[in-house]
C-alpha cells in the first residue's frame, strides 16, 4: 500500500543534541511538507519542497533544517538552536495543487 512512513514514532533527546526525523513516501508525490503541532494548536509549516534538491522555508523554519536528495525522502533535522523542540511533528505529501495532503503518522519528540 502507498503511504508516508515517519520514524520513529517516539523520540527522546537531551537538550543541545541535534536529532533527525525520517519521512519516506512511496506515493510518487512531488511535494513534501513538514508541520509542527503543539497541544491545542493548529499545524504550523516548517519547511516544504516541491521538487528534488529544492526546498523553501515555512513560517517557523528557525532551528530546523531539511534536505531533499531523493523524491521519496524528506528528513527533518531539529537542531540545538530550536528553543522549544518538544512537539508532534507531521510529514505530508501531495501531488497536484488542489489535492489534499497525505499525512504520515507523526513523530512525537521530547527534549529534556
Contact residues toward other proteins (CB under 8 A) are 31, 33, 35, 40-45, 48, 50, 56, 58, 90, 92, 94, 97-106
Smallest gap from residue 41 Cβ to other proteins (A): 6
Strand order in 64-66's β-sheet? 4-7, 19-25, 76-78, 64-66
Comparing CB distances to other proteins, the nearer of 16 and 39 is 39
Smallest gap from residue 80 Cβ to other proteins (A): 27
Comparing CB distances to other proteins, the nearer of 2 and 98 is 98
Residue 19: φ, ψ to 5°: -145, 140
Which among 95, 40, 49 is positioned nearest to 70, based on CA atoms? Answer: 49
Comparing CB distances to other proteins, the nearer of 43 and 77 is 43
Smallest gap from residue 88 Cβ to other proteins (A): 9
Smallest gap from residue 35 Cβ to other proteins (A): 8
CB 22 within 8 A of CB 106: no
Centre a 10 Å sphere on the Cβ of residue 45 and count the other Cβ atoms it contains: 16
Comparing CB distances to other proteins, the nearer of 51 and 81 is 51
Cell 531523493 belongs to 70
Amino acid at each position: 500500500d502507498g503511504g508516508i512512513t515517519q520514524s520513529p514514532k517516539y523520540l527522546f533527546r537531551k537538550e543541545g543534541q541535534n536529532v533527525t526525523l525520517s519521512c519516506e513516501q512511496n506515493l510518487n508525490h512531488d511535494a513534501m511538507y513538514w508541520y509542527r503541532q503543539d497541544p491545542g494548536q493548529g499545524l504550523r509549516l516548517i519547511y516544504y519542497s516541491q521538487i528534488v534538491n529544492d526546498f523553501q522555508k515555512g513560517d517557523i523554519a528557525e532551528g530546523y533544517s531539511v534536505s531533499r536528495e531523493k523524491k521519496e525522502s524528506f528528513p527533518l533535522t531539529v537542531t540545538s538552536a530550536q528553543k522549544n523542540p518538544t512537539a508532534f511533528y507531521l510529514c505530508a505529501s501531495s501531488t497536484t495543487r488542489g489535492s489534499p495532503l497525505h499525512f504520515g503518522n507523526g513523530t512525537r519528540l521530547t527534549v529534556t
